[in-house]
Structure 1
Amino acid sequence: MSTDRTTGLDHDTPASYRRLGPGHYAPTVHTQGAWRDDEQHMAPVSGLLAHEIDLHEPREGLLLARLSFDILGVIPARPSRVEVRTTRPGRTIELVEATMTVDDRAVVRAHAWRLAAHDSTPVAGVELEPIPGPDDLPAWAGTDTWEGGFIAGLEFRADPARRPGRTRTWIRARHPLVDGELVSPTADLVRLADTANGIAVRVSPKEWMFPNVDLTVHLLREPVRGWVGFDTRVSMGPTGLGLTSTTLHDEQGPVGRAEQILTVRRMPPPR
């Protein structure tokens, strides 16, 4: 197995993670962050937590309706453990908590509401605007803006009318999330949701820092596997706070919303 001499990341495994044991994973170069090459990008981390939540006490008829993630600090690109527990059990509504630790330090904590599926077809309706499909938009190289192994492993289609703070973009991953494992369509979508903050940047990431400290995904149905669409707006206030707001799509139409709060500050001068 070949590894990066600087970060120690596995370059051979054709997935974001290699399972080491129950809840124990080794990140590969396909998780490498965009701000630092020795950290994991939050996008595959959130997908991995969603996958572990799916595996925790599964019950037919319960759907993931909301996942919220709090990012507790830099996520080192080293072996990670995920622990999951049910904090609010219920027959039709339950709340599950998942925590990722690296070197015995909690780095991300997630909370997920699982709700019972019911037939609501007679009242179904969506007030979220559709966007052009992936076949209707040209390819875009995300590596023009960002570096890192995670971004390099993505395929993009972007609206030519995109501008700072506003875009409509489709994304799909070239690699599976966990080597040798099939994850749910929901985890497959969630693993890309955090990229929203990097596809409609208002300012150059070489001049300003604007990392998100959280991610919340609300879903109105189970997504279908494939391209994930982003209808994204980025707003920044005058006192160092920002907000990235996204309508999420699959190839059948709008499927939910994602929100990320940002801490906005000037990039420190090089030492």
Structure 2
Amino acid sequence: MGDAEGFFERVDAGRFLATEYTRGPWDPGAQHAGPPAALLGRAVEDRPDARAGMRIARITYEILRPVPIGALEVATRVLRSGRGTEVVEASLTPGGGAAPVMVARALRIRVAEEAVPAVVPGPQVPPPGEAGAVPFFPVPWETGYHTAMEARFTQGAFVELGPGTCWMRMRVPLVAGEEIRPLDRVLVAADSGNGISSVLDYARFVFLNGDLTVHLHRHPVGEWACVESRTAVDAAGIGLVDARLHDEKGPIGRAAQSLFVAPR
């Protein structure tokens, strides 16, 4: 573990400093997409004009270019506001007037005032207590996302090809000195589906996602988030990661990533 106290340090209401815990596995100067995805999700929920009684049901991220480790600015705006739904856009921009590096669009749906019957889709995966802790695949630097997250597999492993089911838990807060929220835990883990269910040797191929979409039918609870992931790749070099998301109470939604695949 490094010396930082979170994935990000807050400078003020809309500015943050990314720490070494955000570092991804491919470039020492670039972030794993999970932490900035969670930061934008939090920005959607925390904006001053956020309507009470609404919840994120879907959030789609466009990863426009590698997210640098350094100073970042977060901005939000409402694109549509209706009686039962609203669409909010959040962007992440490096300092100095640069173009955004990641943009998210979130659909928030009004929570029903009267309870409706809950329907739980599909079986629950084995709990994290039945899974063993495993290391991430080899990373050429000591500190990064791979050390800030705890991972336990009930199926597969980072170093095995094929489908995988992995419970993940944050070892540090999203923002230093601030409480970890259940939504943070899910969004910081959801972008890992690609690595959890990789079907090609990472030493011979690159398989990078340019987007991430997360659907949530239930608000997550607890410390652990589970990504039950499958990957398909076409000979044209286009792939798709399809993942079911769980917490310790059961399924909570799905995540999908589009992949660019090519030989190294």
Taking structure 1 as the reference length, the TM-score comes to 0.89
Offset of 1:184 from its aligned partner?
3.2
* Aligned residue in 2 for 1:95: 87
Per the alignment, in what secondary structure is the counterpart of residue 88 of structure 1?
strand
Q: Is the 8 A contact 1:53 1:98 kept in 2?
A: yes
Structure 1 position 86 matched with structure 2 position 81: no
Structure 1 position 133 matched with structure 2 position 124: no
- Cα distance between partner residues in 2 of 1:177 and 1:199: 21
* Aligned residue in 1 for 2:144: 149
Structure 1 position 159 matched with structure 2 position 154: yes
Offset of 1:152 from its aligned partner?
1.7
Offset of 1:140 from its aligned partner?
1.0
Offset of 1:202 from its aligned partner?
1.1
The verdict on how the C-alpha distance between 1:161 and 1:213 changes in structure 2, with shifts beyond 3 A counting, is closer
* Aligned residue in 1 for 2:38: 47
Most deviating of 234-243 and 99-108: 99-108
Per the alignment, in what secondary structure is the counterpart of residue 166 of structure 2?
strand
- Cα distance between partner residues in 2 of 1:60 and 1:234: 37
Question: Match of 2:241, as an amino acid?
Answer: T
Question: Match of 1:154, as an amino acid?
Answer: M
* Aligned residue in 2 for 1:265: 262
Offset of 1:23 from its aligned partner?
1.1
5+ residue gaps in structure 2? none
* Aligned residue in 2 for 1:37: 28
* Aligned residue in 1 for 2:204: 207
* Aligned residue in 2 for 1:15: 6
Offset of 1:189 from its aligned partner?
1.3
Q: CA RMSD in A?
A: 1.8
Structure 1 position 173 matched with structure 2 position 170: yes
1:196-255 Cα offsets, whole Å, 9 max, x none, are 111121122221100100000000111003111111101111101001110000011100
Q: How many residues align?
A: 257
Structure 1 position 112 matched with structure 2 position 106: yes
Q: Is the 8 A contact 2:228 2:244 kept in 1?
A: yes
The verdict on how the C-alpha distance between 1:167 and 1:124 changes in structure 2, with shifts beyond 3 A counting, is same
- Cα distance between partner residues in 1 of 2:112 and 2:154: 36
Structure 1 position 27 matched with structure 2 position 18: yes
Among all aligned residue pairs of Structure 1 and Structure 2, give the percentage whose two residues are the same amino acid: 33
Question: Match of 1:91, as an amino acid?
Answer: R
5+ residue gaps in structure 1? 1-10
Structure 1 position 72 matched with structure 2 position 64: yes
The verdict on how the C-alpha distance between 1:61 and 1:129 changes in structure 2, with shifts beyond 3 A counting, is same
Q: Is the 8 A contact 2:185 2:225 kept in 1?
A: no
- Cα distance between partner residues in 2 of 1:72 and 1:124: 37
Per the alignment, in what secondary structure is the counterpart of residue 210 of structure 1?
strand
Question: Match of 1:151, as an amino acid?
Answer: H
Per the alignment, in what secondary structure is the counterpart of residue 30 of structure 1?
helix
- Cα distance between partner residues in 2 of 1:108 and 1:244: 19
1:23-46 Cα offsets, whole Å, 9 max, x none, are 111000100011111001100010
Taking structure 2 as the reference length, the TM-score comes to 0.92
Most deviating of 144-153 and 173-182: 144-153
The verdict on how the C-alpha distance between 1:74 and 1:184 changes in structure 2, with shifts beyond 3 A counting, is same
Question: Match of 1:153, as an amino acid?
Answer: A
